[in-house]
Chains A and B, each alone.
Chain A
Amino acid sequence: MSATTDLAPPPRTDAAIGPWRLRWRRFRRHRTGMASLVILALLVLFALAAVPMQHLLGIDPDATDLLSRFDPPSAAHWLGTDDAGRDELIRLMVGGQISLLVGLVATAIGGVIGLLIGVTAGYFGGRLDALLMRITDGMIALPLLPLLIVLGAVDLTKLGFSSDFAHSTAASFWRIIIIISIVDWTSIARLVRAATLSIKDRDYVRAARASGAGASYVMPAHVLPNVATPIIVALTLTVGRVILFESVLSFLGFGITPPTPSWGNMLNNAQELVTTAPGLAVYPGLLIFITVIAVNFLGDGLQAAFDPRSEQ
């Protein structure tokens, strides 16, 4: 080798396109993943269409009309009315907003908790790591649903909140988000910890530390960009799980409080509906099902697109 070969950088090739472009290309070839993305986009549009639809049809989603309970589908009520005479379609749309929002916000908060715990454990190591990982293991070993039910049953007035607030929709919305996010952060925490461990002793991190960088610099600059992909996949799957948790809790009466609809609480008295108006028992559950399955397929597609080994 001569001196010149060392100095001349190799010519740019097509391989030098950004890693995200490459992933998007690979993802686009994943059929179920792409289909899921389209379905999810449609579901979001469906939920967002609630307000324009209300105006279009002149319907108030919360207005009860006891004279027109269980109406069959009609021009005014495309999917008929529910047990309180409210328009089922509009309520499905509004409920979708709530359910999707809970899914996203709780995942985001749980993700941040997991991120902080994983980073702390991985970066500082030692006893702190051992302690945090024991807590994580303990958390994983808990029977989640019963625990969530207990948390959902907590009387907020006993925590010093006013009775008005405790029974408001806002309280039930934030309560469900908080209780889900404080139990569902473990997978992110483990992932981030493993990634932090594998990266924190790389020489480029040590060079940064020698210049005086602490965890608050190293994490965003070096660790997180290198683990973004598995985290995105894990977060996607978490969204699906959270939507399921929300629906279960709301269904059991510990989640979003009526009259504000969520896909879960629209099934509240579904057991009776099964015989009287089966449709009302079918639609909300079907939407939950479609959403979650699309989210899971999306996660699968992302996984494939991000995993270089899947390139064949």
Chain B
Amino acid sequence: MSELIALESVSVHFDLGGGGLFGGRRRILRAAEQVSFAIAAGETLALVGESGSGKSTLGNVVAGLQAPSDGRLRFHGAPLDAVGWRQARRAIQIVFQDPFGALDPRMPVSAIIAEPLLIQGGSTARQRRDRAAELVEQVGLPRDALNRYPHEFSGGQRQRIAIARALAPAPELIVADEPLSALDVSIQSQVLNLMKELQERLGLSYLFISHDLAVVNHLVDRVAVLYLGRLVEIAPREELFARPSHPYTQALLDAVPRIGRRRARGHVIKGEMPSPLAPPPGCVFHPRCPKAADICRTDIPTLGAAPGRADQLSACHFRE
């Protein structure tokens, strides 16, 4: 499989101000710290982690909505600079969590869906109308949806509209930022199936962001686990579910109730994720880690292969 997009030690820091002429401490929020991973063509990578772990931030970086403070991106092997982005804008699209905020209430569905084509230019109004009509059917909406306005649709239908919009410029990668979590459970599986079907038909890649490991199981090839802006583990789905290498992943899996599987490890993570304004020294997970030792409080663990599994990487001094 060929590499589609790659992040090379990407960091995102938000400057929350202070430290100016009138004093106050300068506050830097480290939303993502030295994150590297790659997505292959046709592959689905899940990005999981607790709320505030930096999933959306990284999703925004990949979608070109957030410039990294440090690090680089590659797309098809070429660096994503100003020129590179101009090409990549078409190829990378995004679907958001909240289907109510994602569609302009004043635009008819046909205009919403064709918007990326309008923005990127080079298409006639007629072409855009035809494309919108084609896409409405592809995502399973009735054709007469085209002339309606977003408020006439339910959450699941709106999410289909958002997906149709993302598909409009025939992208290679769709960043889906928790696309299911605002939907009813019964609707979730429909949208998930739609995404899967589209992937098979169109050969898409997804960066699928989720805080819920259970959802991920149905769709993805590989899983990347984030904690406090750091990538702590990345592995193929089966291996990660079968033998999680990082204590945090283990704890996450333990928290997922699954039928026919008794709780192997008893430890549930205690406490809350620290503030990304003041990350702990050493391994950022150490205040909550059941296996923490002295070295964890001082030395930052690097990402490395788990014993005997070359494509399962984790960042822990005592990786399993």
Given A212-B89, A217-B119: A207 touches B102 (CB 8 Å cut-off): yes
CB distance from B150 to the nearest CB of A (A): 9
Q: Which of B78-101 contact A (CB under 8 A)?
A: 85-86, 89-90, 92-94, 96, 98, 101
B119 pairs with A212, CB closer than 8 A:
yes
The one of A2, A9, A211, A217 that contacts B142, using a Cβ cutoff of 8 Å = A9
CB distance from B100 to the nearest CB of A (A): 9
- A288 vs B152: C-alpha distance when bound (angstroms): 47
CB distance from B308 to the nearest CB of A (A): 40
- A16 vs B152: C-alpha distance when bound (angstroms): 9
A206 pairs with B190, CB closer than 8 A:
no
- A171 vs B245: C-alpha distance when bound (angstroms): 80
A7 contacts chain B at the CB level, 8 A cutoff: yes
A6 contacts chain B at the CB level, 8 A cutoff: yes
B120 pairs with A212, CB closer than 8 A:
yes
B96 pairs with A6, CB closer than 8 A:
no
Range, interface on chain B:
35 or more
B263 contacts chain A at the CB level, 8 A cutoff: no
Given A208-B115, A211-B119, A212-B86: A6 touches B190 (CB 8 Å cut-off): yes
The dominant DSSP class at the A interface is: helix
A203 pairs with B106, CB closer than 8 A:
no
A77 contacts chain B at the CB level, 8 A cutoff: no
Contact with B along A19-57 (1 / 0, CB 8 A): 100000000000000000000000000000000000000
CB distance from A52 to the nearest CB of B (A): 43
Contact with B along A199-240 (1 / 0, CB 8 A): 000111011111111000100011001100000000000000
- A210 vs B63: C-alpha distance when bound (angstroms): 6
B186 contacts chain A at the CB level, 8 A cutoff: yes
A1 contacts chain B at the CB level, 8 A cutoff: yes
Name the residue of chain A whose CB is nearest to the CB of B106: A225
B96 pairs with A207, CB closer than 8 A:
yes
CB distance from B97 to the nearest CB of A (A): 8
- A138 vs B112: C-alpha distance when bound (angstroms): 40
Given A6-B187, A204-B104: A210 touches B93 (CB 8 Å cut-off): yes
Selecting from B124-132, B153-161, B225-233, B293-301, the interface stretch reads B153-161
CB distance from A214 to the nearest CB of B (A): 9
B145 contacts chain A at the CB level, 8 A cutoff: yes
- A41 vs B280: C-alpha distance when bound (angstroms): 70
CB distance from B197 to the nearest CB of A (A): 14
A7 pairs with B142, CB closer than 8 A:
yes
A210 pairs with B65, CB closer than 8 A:
yes
B148 pairs with A9, CB closer than 8 A:
yes
A8 contacts chain B at the CB level, 8 A cutoff: yes
- A157 vs B181: C-alpha distance when bound (angstroms): 68
Contact with A along B49-72 (1 / 0, CB 8 A): 000000000000001110000000
Specify which chain B residues have a CB less than 8 angstroms from the CB of A209 in the assembled complex: 64-65
The one of A12, A207, A226 that contacts B152, using a Cβ cutoff of 8 Å = A12
B169 contacts chain A at the CB level, 8 A cutoff: yes
Specify which chain A residues have a CB less than 8 angstroms from the CB of B63 in the assembled complex: 210
B94 pairs with A3, CB closer than 8 A:
no
CB distance from A13 to the nearest CB of B (A): 9
CB distance from A16 to the nearest CB of B (A): 7
The one of B120, B141, B184 that contacts A7, using a Cβ cutoff of 8 Å = B141
- A204 vs B26: C-alpha distance when bound (angstroms): 32
Q: Which of B159-217 contact A (CB under 8 A)?
A: 162, 165-166, 169, 184, 186-187, 190
A143 contacts chain B at the CB level, 8 A cutoff: no
A1 pairs with B187, CB closer than 8 A:
yes
Name the residue of chain A whose CB is nearest to the CB of B88: A212
Contact with B along A225-257 (1 / 0, CB 8 A): 110000000000000000000000000000000
Given A3-B190, A212-B85, 10 more contacts at CB 8 Å?
Answer: A6-B157, A6-B187, A9-B145, A204-B103, A207-B96, A209-B64, A210-B63, A210-B93, A211-B89, A212-B90
